[in-house]
Structure 1
Amino acid sequence: MSTVFNFTFVPWFRSVAPYIHMHRGKTFVVGIAGEAIAAGKLQNLAQDLALIQSMGVKIVLVHGFRPQVNEQLAAKGHTPKYSHGIRITDSVALDCAQEAAGQLRYEIEAAFSQGLPNTPMAGSTVRVISGNFITARPVGIVDGVDFMHSGLVRKVDVQGITNTLDMGAMVLLSPFGFSPTGEAFNLTMEEVATSVAAELQADKLIFLTEVPGIRIDPHAPASDDNPIDTELPLAAAKKLLAESPNPTQPTDLAFYLQHCVTACEEGVERSHILPFAVDGALLLEVYVHDGIGTMIVDEKLEELREATADDVGGILQLIEPFEKDGTLVKRDRTEIERDIDHYTIIDHDGVIFACAALYPYPEAKTAEMAALTVSPQSQGQGDGEKVLKRIEQRARAMGLKSIFVLTTRTMHWFIKRGFVQVDPDWLPEARKRKYNWDRKSQVLVKKL
């Protein structure tokens, strides 16, 4: 049994390591819906957050309290009132909100204070600090509706939060803000988390919600292993928002999506919508490549660039399967290291998804494009085109008149993109000497 465990644990831990390195020193703002706490998920969420913090991540935790406030109102014989998807906070609702927030803060602090042996919290010290970090203003009267003590974020005390995080503490925020006159305003967890993430320029904004994530086309059949879109480019998310009705319920598609889009537009690189119903959702999203929820990502994160020595390992990993099945000629590490400045790559989130190399033959005014490879995960998304265009630009900048490729499998892809087939005798003398007549590669040329 232990041998089997060793064989699964070691590769798993090694696969997680790059993400541990990647996230160390980063800032995450995590918004937990009040429903998650009502569903009894606090204990496990606290353990996972403590674990993430122990790996060097700075965490701002914002809790919601929608069901807890409604429970307090019901106990007092009052009905919750909403308009435009926002609670109308009269004086009774404000009292209930303050009671619910106080209760929840104690529960959250208690969850982070555990240290029983044989639990994930053993040996952990998580200092949780709350404070008056949010200045608020009233929502006021909208379309004739007076929102009374409901407010919006006016200002975030960035310096105060940053100093607290730098001390190694976790910052805990309730959805409350205070005016310069000392009035308290009831805010929404979603707006507080989004404003704080934007002001801090956090690396991630993560919402733990009732919804399992987002599917662009709800009518498309969901595959068993991918019932949601795990990654949504910002442009696609904005289009989806424009087509969605105004959200009034937390389960509405646009309810969390609108905040994720706002955060991305204001400089937060990645926003996530995760289901709290899945145990370990936070760990799965942060430390596993495909994650478990939907990540809204600014396309600028995908970088088309020339390769450096640090990319050798990633290029080898990308091309290896294609060398094994004979699509590409085998290249060893030494060759790639020697020629690394010939390579152009597409790097997304620290992973190389496409590459190609340019070998010039200046005396013949041409260059070979070699090792054009696109990861199976991103085929059909235009990555091959992007790399080809960049290679063409590089060749033109060298004053070359054409580029050529040798291929045994992908002739049609190149012909569609302006290449024409020529006889191998066309090749520059130096390249002809290295031509493998057994492989019978087709030679295709494109004029620049």
Structure 2
Amino acid sequence: MRTTDLVGGVRHSAPYVNAHRGKIFVVMVGGEAVQHPNFRNILNDIALLNTLGIKLVLVFGARPQINAQLEKDNADCSYYRGVRLTDVDMLERVKQVTGAMQLDITARLSMSLSNTPMQGSEINVVTGNFVIAQPIGVIDGIDHCHSGRVRRIDVECIENLLNTNNIVLHGPIAASVTGESFNLTAEEIATQIAIRLQAEKIIGFSELAGVLDESEQVMAELLPSDAEAIIADSNHQVHQCAAASNFISAAIKACRSGVNRSHLVSYQDDGALLQELFSRDGIGTQFVNESAEQMSQADISHIGGILDLIRPLEQQGVLVRRSREQLETELEHFLVVERDGLVIGCVAVYPFADQNCAEFACLAIHPNYRAAQRGDMLLKAAVQRARKMGFESLFALTTTSIHWFLEQGFVMAELEDLPPSKQQLYNLQRRSKILQMSL
């Protein structure tokens, strides 16, 4: 990595370091992730998050490890509606496997730090009876025995431990008020902890880099309704990966219960967790109640971002130059699109009330975000604004984007079709093409 790349990376991650500090993240690692060679790096990155002031609850699962133990013991296992039926003998095997895993994860997070990038750090890992379980009971005549679900979570205890910089670690076994042990899913434990602690995020891992679209590209963002449609589609490839489909179901519930964002990343890619959390575009799929991109009326705080967008286009002659002072006086006409505090798009709608029309102007999209039809979205917003103001038409002047405007429903127009005041300002040297859309 070149020095400039390093400097740029640190600068771009700094806002996220500040935003995440003091927040509660629940990280869920399934047994598939635990047994992967990259798990050591994942734990190192989790330790790094802890040193950055992020409050962490780490929940681990053990499905493949339990299955391997059952195979070794030549023991059978029954399921009902996807839930492992845990009798007394099964529970002893589950406790044996998960107990060993808990000790191993604790050791990796602490004693091995001298051989990791976190050398010199002190990580305190705490486990305990933070989750109180209850039996699932008998469903459709099937006794689930020691398979359980979450009854209660000791929120105050967990919060006290997190406030003193401990990492809270929890496996899939929890005790009941009667002193019995129950086998729960890691997804339910992680989700309920995140909901009841009002965590900022829940993060899960799978062999997939995220949820893929039809062209096998990672979908950066999904609303709960979109995620539900994917789960309902039995042909979608997430159903080929149990860790992914189980986490998506958990993420839907978490989002709808107040957890701001849930993230799915690959346990196979070194550094995927850090790239997802500390870069604007991430690397996996995040599940959100509202899009990370928000359109709003521009205000004085957006001046710098708008100038950053339009200055290069002004220098290329694509846009007419506007001074900062002029822009400040025209802010009421601008709409902006923000993504995590960065202005990635803007457009202006200038009214000409006497002629019952408006001008569509100053459309600019950040170079890194021009591939997702954001221009179309801004045009739609401009059309809606012009219609709301009661205008009958929208016009635009352009030197380079003629075909785009024609594709959007504009038609070629003449100079005399412009409002008289706009005709007087028309720059004959630029020879901009005039386009018009009926509203």
Same fold (TM over 0.5): yes
Secondary structure of the corresponding residue to residue 268 of structure 2:
coil
- Aligned residue-pair number: 438
Indicate conservation of the 8 Å contact 1:272/1:293, yes or no.
yes
How many Å separate the matches in 2 of 1:248 and 1:185?
27
1:436 aligns with 2:433: no
Secondary structure of the structure 1 residue equivalent to 2:252: helix
Counterpart for residue 184 of structure 1: 181
Q: Relative to structure 1, is the Cα distance of residues 396 and 255 closer, same or farther in structure 2, using a 3 angstrom cutoff?
A: closer
Deviation at 1:344, TM superposition (A): 0.6
In the alignment, what sits opposite 1:373? 364
User: CA shift at 1:433, angstroms?
Assistant: 4.2
* Residue 267 of structure 2 corresponds to residue 276 of structure 1: yes
Residue identity in the other structure for 1:404: F
Letter of the 1:283 partner, please give it.
L
2:109 is the counterpart of 1:127: no
**Does structure 1 residue 240 correspond to structure 2 residue 233?**
no
Q: Quick one: which of 291, 294, 307 aligns to 1:316?
A: 307
Q: Name the residue aligned to 2:246.
A: 255
Provide closer, same or farther for how the CA distance between residues 138 and 437 of structure 1 changes in structure 2, counting only shifts above 3 A.
same
Q: Structure 1 residue 73: deviation in Å?
A: 3.8
User: What is the rounded CA distance, in whole Å, between the counterparts of 1:440 and 1:10 in structure 2?
Assistant: 43
CA distance in 2, matches of 1:79, 1:318: 63
5 Å matches for 1:164-203?
164-203=161-200
Q: Is the 8 A contact 2:293 2:337 kept in 1?
A: yes
CA distance, structure 2, for counterparts of residue 353 and residue 58 of structure 1:
31
Separation (CA, whole Å) in 2 of partners of 1:115 and 1:311? 47
Q: Answer yes or no: is the 8 Å Cα contact 1:212–1:274 preserved in 2.
A: yes
Map of 1:306 onto structure 2: 297
What CA deviation, in whole Å up to 9, does each residue of 1:361-383 have, x standing for no partner? 55655443321234566557554
Distance 2:273 2:299 in 1: 32
The superposition leaves residues 329-379 of structure 1 with CA deviations (integer Å, 9 ceiling, x where unpaired) of 344555445543432112233343431123345565544332123456655
- Matches of 1:180 and 1:109, distance apart in 2: 26
Contact kept? 1:81, 1:87, Cα under 8 Å: yes
Q: How does 1:60-75 map to 2 (within 5 A)?
A: 60-74=57-71
Code of the aligned partner of 1:19: Y
Matching residue within 30, 48, 52 for 1:51: 48
How big is the shift at 1:32? 0.6
Partner letter of residue 124 of structure 2?
R
Please report how far the alpha carbon of residue 440 of structure 1 lies from its aligned counterpart in structure 2 after TM superposition: 0.9
Letter of the 1:199 counterpart: R
Distance 1:116 1:164 in 2: 21
Structure 2 residue 221 is the aligned partner of structure 1 residue 231: yes
Distance 1:145 1:349, change over 3 A: farther
Letter of the 1:405 partner, please give it: A
Shift in alpha-carbon separation, 1:305–1:81, aligned structure 2, 3 A: same
Task: Name 1:104's counterpart in structure 2.
Answer: 101
1:178 to 1:332, Cα distance in 2 relative to 1, 3 A: farther
Percent identical residues: 39
Offset of residue 47 of structure 1: 1.4
TM-score (norm 1): 0.84
Quick one: structure 1 residues 324 and 111, their matched pair in 2 at CA, closer, same or farther if it must change by over 3 Å?
farther
- Give how far 1:252 is off: 7.0
Q: Does 1:267 align with 2:264?
A: no
The C-alpha deviation readout for 1:291-317, integer Å capped at 9, x for no partner, is: 333323334443221123332333334
**What is the aligned-residue RMSD (CA, Å)?**
3.2
- Deviation of residue 90 (structure 1)? 1.2
The alpha-carbon distance between structure 1 residues 172 and 116, as it changes in their structure 2 partners (threshold 3 A), is closer
In 2, the alpha carbon distance for the partners of 1:142 and 1:106 equals 34
Structure 2 counterpart of 1:137: 134
Trace 1:258-407 onto structure 2 (pairs within 5 A): 258-320=249-311, 322-323=313-314, 325-331=316-322, 333=324, 335-361=326-352, 366-375=357-366, 383-395=374-386, 402-407=393-398
Tell me the distance in 1 between the aligned counterparts of 2:347 and 2:155.
43
8 Å Cα contact 2:221/2:291 also seen in 1: no
- The CA distance in 1 between the partners of 2:347 and 2:69, in whole Å, is 62
Please give the per-residue CA displacement for 1:186-207, whole angstroms capped at 9, x wherever unaligned.
1011121122223333222211
Give 1:44 shift: 1.9
Indicate conservation of the 8 Å contact 1:356/1:369, yes or no. yes
Q: Does 1:204 align with 2:201?
A: yes
The residue type paired with residue 160 of structure 2 is N
Describe how 1:29-48 pairs up with structure 2 within 5 A: 29-48=26-45
Q: Give deviations 1:73-126, integer Å, cap 9, x for gaps.
A: 455553344333222211122122222332222222222224755742223232
The one-letter code of the counterpart of 1:340 is L
Q: In 1, are the aligned partners of 2:347 and 2:360 still within 8 Å (CA)?
A: yes
Distance, in Å, in 1 between the alignment partners of 2:178 and 2:115 is 49
Partners of 2:299 and 2:111 lie apart in 1 by: 46
Give the drift of 1:286: 1.4
| CA distance in 2 between partners of 1:300 and 1:229 (Å) | 13
The worse-fitting range, judged by mean Cα deviation, of 329-338 and 256-265 is 329-338
Aligned residue identity for 1:62: V
Going from structure 1 to structure 2, the CA distance change for 1:390 and 1:248 (only over 3 Å counts) comes to closer
Cα distance in 2 between the residues matched to 1:318 and 1:27: 34
